[in-house]
Amino acid sequence: MDAPVQFAVLSIISFVIILVSGIGIIRSLTLALEAKYEFSGDSLTKRSRLKGFLLFGFWLLAASVNWSFFFDWYFTGSSAQAFERLADRAYIIILILDAMSSD
């Protein structure tokens, strides 16, 4: 593996960032779940709270893709190859999101 120290430091920093950002995400997900059952259907507050689901989805997607980069780096031993796969994956995700938004 190229630059094992760099790999270790970056993965730890990544872990901490995802963990800390997850606190706020879980909080907004909880509020969205509560709003789903407690607010009436036409409530404006409910509509704004339900964005918590979307936020959680993006967070999980971003975190998963981030970890896939580190696993690629670990398995291939090359950060350059991991970046290539990351770019391919990001392109596929953009295509999927694009297709979903047009439905």
What is the nearest approach in angstroms of other proteins to the Cβ of residue 22? 3
Binding string to other proteins for residues 67 to 86, with x set by CB under 8 A, is what? xxxxxx--x---------x-
Do 52 and 32 contact (CB within 8 A), yes or no?
yes
Minimum CB–partner distance for residue 13 and other proteins (Å): 13
Q: Over the range 15-51, which residues count as b (16 or more CB within 10 Å of their CB) and which as e? A: eeebeeeeeebeebbeebeebeeebeeeeeebeebbe
Residue 82 CB coordination number (10 Å): 20
Distance CA 85, CA 50 (A): 33
User: Which residues ranging from 4 to 33 are in contact with other proteins (CB under 8 A)?
Assistant: 15, 18-20, 22-23, 25-27, 30, 33
Question: What is the contact surface with other proteins in residues (CB under 8 A)?
Answer: 15, 18-20, 22-23, 25-27, 30, 33-34, 38-40, 42-47, 60, 63-72, 75, 85, 88-89, 95, 98-99, 102-103
